[in-house]
Amino acid sequence: ISGREAKERIIDLLRKFGIPDPEQRYNEYPHQFSGGMKQRAMIAIAMICQPHILIADEPTTALDVTIQAQILDLMKRLRDATGTSIILITHNMGVVAETCDDVAVMYMGRIVESGTVEHIFNNPLHPYTQDLLRSVPVLGMNQDEDLATIEGQTPDAGEKINHCAFADRCQRCMPICSEAIPPDYTLEPNHVVQCWLYKDGEVAERGAL
């Protein structure tokens, strides 16, 4: 396309993505944009070629709550309007609950549990998933109440681990957990967990394996 057509298309995209005064903004530099506007511009750049999949790595980091909500709403509207699938990488469980259809929980580079958002939040199976959700602050907490934490340290990222990477931090660790990597167990349709607790299709008693 010609330079003029490219400019018109970019200005149209900026307008669609909620950038105010797109004709003026077209000639401005990144330092003249707010954090939220920069994020919108980045999403516009990613969508200009109409991708089938958009990978969004921590798209709301360093944004205030109001701008976070606007960015997430924009992404959901894009998904619904274009059919683009979005892979969202985030540590914010609130964002996951509000935005996602399916969830994969990772620990040390390995997927330890996957399922629908309802599976993960209503029936978490892996001890890491359970601990992760317990550590999320909730409304109504007493200000003197301590947040739940996951004890211990993550393994060295360069270490080759031939067993469950969460074993040393897990309150339900069994001997086999420190000996071998568990396979995937499907407990219900589309809900998969990688944990020795579910070897027989149901929760094993502590120390049973």
Kindly report, residue by residue over 185-206, the tens digit of the pLDDT. 999 999 999 999 998 766 544 4
When mean pLDDT is compared over 48-52, 58-62, 165-169, the highest value belongs to 165-169
Give residue limits of the domains in the chain: 51-203
% of the chain exceeding 70 in pLDDT: 96
Nearest to 88 by CA among 119, 66, 115, 59: 59
pTM: 0.83
Considering only CA atoms, which of 86, 90, 91, 120 is closest in space to residue 103? 120
Is it the case that residue 110 has pLDDT exceeding 90?
yes
Least-confidence region, from 114-118, 139-143, 161-165, 203-207: 203-207
Residue type, 138: V
Which pLDDT tens digit goes with each residue over 53-108? 999 999 888 788 888 888 888 888 888 988 999 999 999 998 999 899 999 999 99
Burial class (CB in 10 A: 0-12, 13-18, 19+), 125: buried
What is the CATH topology of the domain spanning 51-203?
Rossmann fold (3.40.50)
Whether residue 124 has pLDDT greater than 90: yes
